[in-house]
Amino acid sequence: MWLGSALFFGAVVAPAVFSVLRSFSLPNASEIAGSIVTRSLSVVNVAGFAIGLVLLLTLFLGDSSVGRIAFLIETACILLITAATGVGHWVIAARMRALRTAMVLPIDQVLPSDPRRVEFNSLHGYSVNALGLAMIAALITIVMISRRLRT
């Protein structure tokens, strides 16, 4: 379920919010859209982190007949989900919020060459990559768990 919500957020919600708000030609459309997306993304990231922790705790309760390599792959993927969503929320998003506050003006009115805006845009790329990495790890984890349950 988390993977579906993360995919829906990234492929539908975030682009739609920016597109719809910009269509109204508001001077601060990106600021408003960014606030909505930030709040929504925090739910996705915290949920991914919590699910990762639960999966890590239950990992050792499963069938021990699974192969060592499969167990290591599953463990690595779950650790990756947990780390990527945790860093995405508590490091990257927190820094982005601090930069938006430091800019004082809505982000739409800050020059693209402003160092804070440059850093913000860079962090946005890291945020997208972190969520994408967590989603790929979640897909691999789902495959590994379903393989384990099938045997």
Query: pLDDT tens digits, the chain, 151 residues: what are they?
Result: 999 999 999 999 999 999 999 999 999 999 999 999 999 999 999 999 999 999 999 988 866 677 899 999 999 999 999 999 999 999 999 999 999 999 999 998 999 999 999 999 999 999 999 999 999 999 999 999 898 888 7
Q: How many whole angstroms separate alpha carbon 132 and alpha carbon 43?
A: 16
Q: Domain count for the chain, please give it.
A: 1
Q: Which domain holds residue 39?
A: 2-150
pLDDT, position 107: 92
Question: What pTM does this model have?
Answer: 0.93
Q: What is the DSSP string of 90-128?
A: IIIIHHHHHHHHHT-S-GGGS-TTSHHHHHHHHHHHHHH
Angle (deg, nearest 10), helices 29-58 and 94-102? 160
